Amino acid sequence: MFDYQRVRRLREHLQLSETQFAKKIGVAQSTYHRFEKGTASLTAEAISEIITEFDVDPYWLLVGHGGDEPEFVDNADLITISKNEYIDLQRKALQNQDERIAELERELGKK
Protein backbone atom coordinates (compact mmCIF):
# COMPACT_ATOMS: atom_id res chain seq x y z
CA MET A 1 0.00 0.00 0.00
CA PHE A 2 1.34 3.44 -0.98
CA ASP A 3 2.13 5.54 2.07
CA TYR A 4 2.51 9.30 1.82
CA GLN A 5 4.83 9.21 4.86
CA ARG A 6 7.63 7.76 2.70
CA VAL A 7 7.38 10.70 0.34
CA ARG A 8 7.42 13.14 3.25
CA ARG A 9 10.48 11.37 4.73
CA LEU A 10 12.22 11.69 1.38
CA ARG A 11 11.35 15.39 1.13
CA GLU A 12 12.55 16.06 4.66
CA HIS A 13 15.73 14.07 4.08
CA LEU A 14 16.47 16.18 1.02
CA GLN A 15 15.74 19.30 3.09
CA LEU A 16 13.24 20.61 0.56
CA SER A 17 10.17 22.65 1.35
CA GLU A 18 6.79 21.40 0.15
CA THR A 19 6.91 24.10 -2.52
CA GLN A 20 10.36 23.07 -3.77
CA PHE A 21 9.48 19.38 -3.79
CA ALA A 22 6.16 19.99 -5.55
CA LYS A 23 7.86 22.05 -8.25
CA LYS A 24 10.44 19.32 -8.90
CA ILE A 25 7.73 16.68 -9.42
CA GLY A 26 5.44 18.96 -11.45
CA VAL A 27 2.47 19.42 -9.13
CA ALA A 28 0.96 22.45 -7.48
CA GLN A 29 2.14 23.13 -3.93
CA SER A 30 -1.45 23.03 -2.69
CA THR A 31 -1.92 19.58 -4.20
CA TYR A 32 1.29 18.34 -2.65
CA HIS A 33 0.33 19.81 0.74
CA ARG A 34 -3.01 17.97 0.62
CA PHE A 35 -1.15 14.79 -0.31
CA GLU A 36 1.07 15.04 2.76
CA LYS A 37 -2.02 15.63 4.89
CA GLY A 38 -3.60 12.49 3.42
CA THR A 39 -6.51 14.27 1.75
CA ALA A 40 -5.32 13.96 -1.86
CA SER A 41 -3.53 11.43 -4.04
CA LEU A 42 -0.60 11.92 -6.35
CA THR A 43 -0.93 10.98 -9.99
CA ALA A 44 1.09 8.15 -11.48
CA GLU A 45 3.05 10.81 -13.38
CA ALA A 46 3.98 12.59 -10.14
CA ILE A 47 5.06 9.33 -8.54
CA SER A 48 7.14 8.55 -11.63
CA GLU A 49 8.76 11.98 -11.34
CA ILE A 50 9.66 11.30 -7.69
CA ILE A 51 11.35 8.05 -8.72
CA THR A 52 13.21 9.69 -11.60
CA GLU A 53 14.04 13.10 -10.10
CA PHE A 54 15.34 11.77 -6.80
CA ASP A 55 16.64 8.37 -7.97
CA VAL A 56 14.43 6.52 -5.49
CA ASP A 57 13.95 2.77 -5.62
CA PRO A 58 10.38 2.29 -6.93
CA TYR A 59 9.83 -0.77 -4.77
CA TRP A 60 10.76 1.16 -1.63
CA LEU A 61 8.57 4.09 -2.59
CA LEU A 62 5.52 2.03 -3.48
CA VAL A 63 5.60 -0.73 -0.86
CA GLY A 64 8.20 0.36 1.70
CA HIS A 65 10.60 -2.56 1.41
CA GLY A 66 13.95 -3.07 -0.25
CA GLY A 67 15.79 -0.39 -2.08
CA ASP A 68 19.34 0.77 -1.81
CA GLU A 69 18.81 4.11 -0.10
CA PRO A 70 20.69 3.65 3.20
CA GLU A 71 19.20 6.76 4.78
CA PHE A 72 15.75 5.17 4.67
CA VAL A 73 16.63 1.92 6.42
CA ASP A 74 15.38 1.81 10.02
CA ASN A 75 18.18 -0.14 11.62
CA ALA A 76 20.43 1.29 14.34
CA ASP A 77 23.26 -1.08 13.35
CA LEU A 78 23.67 0.48 9.92
CA ILE A 79 25.90 3.40 9.06
CA THR A 80 24.14 5.97 6.90
CA ILE A 81 25.74 8.15 4.29
CA SER A 82 24.50 11.08 2.27
CA LYS A 83 23.31 10.65 -1.28
CA ASN A 84 26.38 12.55 -2.55
CA GLU A 85 28.73 10.30 -0.56
CA TYR A 86 26.94 7.25 -1.99
CA ILE A 87 27.30 8.59 -5.55
CA ASP A 88 31.01 9.31 -4.97
CA LEU A 89 31.57 5.77 -3.68
CA GLN A 90 29.79 4.32 -6.70
CA ARG A 91 31.89 6.45 -9.06
CA LYS A 92 35.10 5.30 -7.39
CA ALA A 93 33.98 1.68 -7.54
CA LEU A 94 33.18 1.94 -11.24
CA GLN A 95 36.41 3.77 -11.94
CA ASN A 96 38.42 1.06 -10.23
CA GLN A 97 36.48 -1.56 -12.16
CA ASP A 98 37.30 0.17 -15.45
CA GLU A 99 40.98 0.26 -14.48
CA ARG A 100 40.91 -3.45 -13.60
CA ILE A 101 39.20 -4.31 -16.89
CA ALA A 102 41.77 -2.26 -18.84
CA GLU A 103 44.59 -4.03 -16.98
CA LEU A 104 43.08 -7.42 -17.76
CA GLU A 105 42.72 -6.49 -21.42
CA ARG A 106 46.38 -5.42 -21.50
CA GLU A 107 47.42 -8.71 -19.93
CA LEU A 108 45.33 -10.74 -22.36
CA GLY A 109 46.70 -8.73 -25.27
CA LYS A 110 50.26 -9.75 -24.33
CA LYS A 111 49.56 -13.45 -24.81
Does any domain span residue 95?
Answer: yes
pTM higher than 0.95, yes or no?
A: no
Q: Mind listing the pLDDT tens digit for each residue in 10-55?
A: 899 889 999 999 999 999 999 999 998 888 888 888 888 998 898 8
67: left (phi over 0), alpha (psi -120 to 50) or beta: left
Cβ-proximal residues to 7 (8 Å cutoff; 6+ apart), any chain: 35, 36, 42, 50, 61
Does any domain span residue 76?
Answer: no
Residues of the domain holding 14: 4-68
pLDDT at 96: 64
The region of weakest confidence among 21-30, 52-61, 66-75 is 66-75
Domain count, the chain: 2
Residues 12 and 64 in one domain: yes
pLDDT surpassing 70 at residue 80 = no
